Amino acid sequence: MIKSVCGYCGVGCGLEYDMKSLVGDVGYPVNYGNLCSKGVSELVSMQTPTRLLRPMMRSSVTEPYSISSWEESISAVADAIRKAPREKIGFYLSGQLLTEDYYIANKLVKGFIGTNNIDTNSRTCMASAVVAYKKSLGADFVPVRMTDIFKSDLLILAGANTAEAHVVFHNQIKKAKKQGLKVVVIDPRRTDTAAIADLYLPIKPGSDIDLFNLLSKRIIDEGLYDEEFATQKLANFESFRNKFKRVATTKMLKRTGLESEEFEAFWELYKSSPNIITAWTMGLNQSVQGVDKNLALINTHLLTGKIFREGNGPLSLTGQPNAMGGREVGGFATMLAVHLGFDPESVEKVSQFWQTDRISDRPGLTATQMLGADLDVLVICHTDPVYHLPNRARVEELISHIPLVVEINAYENSESAKYAHIRLPAAPWGEKEGTQTNLDRTITKQEKLTRTSIDCKADWEIFQLLAQRLGHRERFDYANPREIFEEYREMTRLSDHLDIHRADYETLNEQPFVWGEGIRDFLTADKKGVLHFVQNELGSEKTNLEYRFLLLTGRTRDQWHSGTKTNLPQTLLKYKELNFCEIHPDDAAELGIRDGEQIRVVSPRGAILTKALVTDTIRPKCLFIPISNREINYLTNDLLDPQSLQPDYNHSAVKVERV
């Protein structure tokens, strides 16, 4: 019996494998034996005929690929990197990579190639939360554990559909409800998550800042703030309070689209709850004002002092299995390793640790900037930017001008593969080992369960091969992931709060390690939290007479993003519909659209075919299409949050046509 961990979502459920079957680990304190359909199907996904099993090369994207060797393909990548100016090289990684993969890639690119152009799909996912945590708490630190819901009185879920996106955590919420937890769901769609809510608030998309500001205003006006905490632990309580004296509450409420009775019901629940957790995900992060939305939410916890106490705090629900680990290890172009920045002292520390003098002190290109930066070489690993970046027509145009696109993938059917010149076969979950950090700072280990397919390599090995070919064998000569983890563990001593040096690699699969458990204070220089006064600037794309609908996008329970691993024959994995478009009955009636009818959804950037799902669970004048429709991003706009550079996926103006 081997203990391992699920490689899909940020919940990080424990698994047991007995050479034949895969089941949930009954003793694991997150899932207690439960798994969702994705976790159960991990083994099946490993064995699909769509695995990429050989290195492949071609000289242009109009030609078919032919089988290559590792020797030939890695040499070709290394040659191109050697020839290119370092600012013309980009590495596009993923929150699904293991920590050891990330560590090697980051060390190679930032430390030895000497560019900070290494970023991750987490830019499209968690970047807004990272910036907001840093601005308010002083570090990218999630101050709540999932188990805290059992010590809380109220859980507010804002723009998070746990029933489909964090399934096993959702089951825990249901359990906590039986013990008295109340749940409020804030979402323009009455989702399956809303179905378990004590109060559901059908907010107008894009107005969460207004709602949380209304809450802060009430907290201040009715004296619900924690006076001692606010004056002693916060840097700027007085000035923040003053700014709230004259905010236009009627206008704010109007923008949320909520009735005043709905807000009053929320306030009643709020003020009578001693312990409160507010959790959020893409409904807030993916926005042109994503950071500000996070800050407006975090403000309510700072004002009330409901943070650093059991059962309280702002809980960002990380989506990918190791998006958090990727951040720790330095996967963003806007940070160095172990949560360090680009200040001279940090650059010096990291340079010494890696024994290099090539680290640049300038932030690199983010994932959302890379394709438009006229790169000579782009290396994509464990993610599919052509599928997932917004405004796909533009993305396709940009990527097709990059002279060398390298894709490292375990499967052959990604959208980015259509634009690659070299493809390298990675060993997927189950054929390799390494560590990951889940959404509440728990570090676990994926174990190798079967032999690695003959010509596949773990992602870290592929980066190491490249490093060696570039002449850095001395610094890149790791025999296994344990050696990499040991080095990374030591490196965390450079950080003042990442205590990962206390973790023990060998026992991680049996005994996960939770970093930062002792942290009960802000991580700013003066140990004070910072309130940020933010207002809804209405910067998202607006509907107009032609494009009358606002398109929301998101998850369905049984599919993982582009579906390379989960879009299996229904005989292997039962799943819900993949391609539909939720439309309100009033809108459908007006357009003469029947349930189940084929429709075309059109934005100023592109059009896709889908099927109408007429339902009153969605707000009128909004549509929802799941991202299991691989073409979704032909529709979305490419506005970015100026602070986090995260895209505004949830607010695109579209129209609907009958086919």
Ligand X SMILES: Nc1nc2c(c(=O)[nH]1)N[C@H]1C(S)=C(S)[C@@H](COP(=O)(O)OP(=O)(O)OC[C@H]3O[C@@H](n4cnc5c(=O)[nH]c(N)nc54)[C@H](O)[C@@H]3O)O[C@H]1N2
Q: Is 384 in the site for ligand X (CB under 6 A)?
A: yes
Interface with ligand X (CB under 6 A), residue from 87, 100, 140, 187: 187
**Alpha-carbon gap, residue 575 to 631, rounded angstroms:** 19
**Alpha helices of 573-634 — where are they, by DSSP H?**
585-591
Interface with Mo ion (CB under 5 A), residue from 125, 324, 449, 531: 125
Q: Which is nearer to ligand X, 320 or 442 (CB)?
A: 320
Q: Which residues contact 10 (CB under 8 A, 6 or more apart)?
A: 166, 317, 318, 319, 320, 321, 323, 324, 438, 439
Q: Is 324 in the site for Mo ion (CB under 5 A)?
A: no
Token digits of residue 10: 């940020």
Q: How far is the CB of 52 from ligand X (least distance, A)?
A: 8
| Bridge partners for 80 per DSSP | none
Concatenating the DSSP letter of every residue in 13-29 gives -EEEE-SS-EEE-TT-T
**Alpha-carbon gap, residue 626 to 607, rounded angstroms:** 15
Q: How far is the CB of 73 from ligand X (least distance, A)?
A: 14
Window 86-115: residues binding ligand X (CB under 6 A): 94, 96
Strands 66-67, 56-57: pairing is antiparallel
Q: Which is nearer to ligand SF4, 8 or 17 (CB)?
A: 8
Interface with ligand X (CB under 6 A), residue from 31, 106, 273, 409: 409
Interface with ligand X (CB under 6 A), residue from 334, 633, 637, 644: 633
Q: Which residues contact 532 (CB under 8 A, 6 or more apart)?
A: 135, 136, 292, 295, 299
Q: Which is nearer to ligand X, 68 or 320 (CB)?
A: 320
Q: Which is nearer to ligand SF4, 10 or 647 (CB)?
A: 10
Q: Which is nearer to ligand SF4, 163 or 181 (CB)?
A: 163
Concatenating the DSSP letter of every residue in 220-258 gives HHTT-S-HHHHHHHBS-HHHHHHHGGG--HHHHHHHHT-
Window 437-466: residues binding ligand X (CB under 6 A): 459
Q: Which is nearer to ligand SF4, 383 or 464 (CB)?
A: 383
186 interface partner picked from ligand X, Mo ion, ligand SF4, none, CB below 5 to 8 A per type: ligand X
Stretch that binds Mo ion, among 247-255, 314-322, 416-424, 650-658 (CB under 5 A): 314-322
Q: Which is nearer to ligand SF4, 320 or 536 (CB)?
A: 320
Stretch that binds ligand X, among 13-21, 156-164, 349-357, 471-479 (CB under 6 A): 156-164
Interface with ligand X (CB under 6 A), residue from 255, 306, 382, 441: 382
Stretch that binds ligand X, among 343-351, 442-450, 479-487, 625-633 (CB under 6 A): 625-633
Interface with Mo ion (CB under 5 A), residue from 24, 319, 425, 428: 319
Q: Which residue type, as a one-letter code, is found at position 265?
A: A
Stretch that binds ligand X, among 24-32, 147-155, 171-179, 378-386 (CB under 6 A): 378-386
Measured from the Cβ of residue 510, the count of other Cβ atoms closer than 10 Å reads 13
Find the helix packing angle between 260-271 and 208-221, rounded to 10°.
50
Binding mask 239-268 for ligand SF4 (x = CB under 6 A): ------------------------------
Q: Which is nearer to ligand SF4, 12 or 330 (CB)?
A: 12
Q: Which residue is nearest to ligand SF4 (CB)?
A: 39
Closest of 395, 401, 397 to residue 383, by C-alpha: 395
35 interface partner picked from ligand X, ligand SF4, Mo ion, none, CB below 5 to 8 A per type: ligand SF4
Residues near Mo ion (CB under 5 A), total: 2
* Residue carrying the six token digits 């968690």: 126
Q: How far apart are the first and last CA of the chain?
A: 54
| Bridge partners for 435 per DSSP | 445
Q: Which residues contact 576 (CB under 8 A, 6 or more apart)?
A: 556, 557, 558, 559
* Spatial contact of 390 and 646, defined as CB atoms under 8 Å apart: no
* Spatial contact of 105 and 354, defined as CB atoms under 8 Å apart: no
Measured from the Cβ of residue 301, the count of other Cβ atoms closer than 10 Å reads 23
Q: How far is the CB of 41 from ligand SF4 (least distance, A)?
A: 9
Binding mask 4-43 for ligand SF4 (x = CB under 6 A): --x-xx-xxx-----------------x---xx-xx----
Concatenating the DSSP letter of every residue in 279-315 gives EE-HHHHSSTTHHHHHHHHHHHHHHHT-SSSTT-EEE
Q: Which residue type, as a one-letter code, is found at position 52?
A: L
Q: Which is nearer to ligand X, 441 or 561 (CB)?
A: 561
Q: Where do contacts with ligand X occur on this chain (CB under 6 A)?
A: 9, 94, 96, 121, 124-125, 158-161, 164-165, 186-189, 191, 203, 205-206, 208, 281-283, 286, 319-320, 381-384, 387-388, 408-411, 414, 426, 428, 459, 552-555, 557, 559-562, 564, 627, 632-633, 636, 649-650
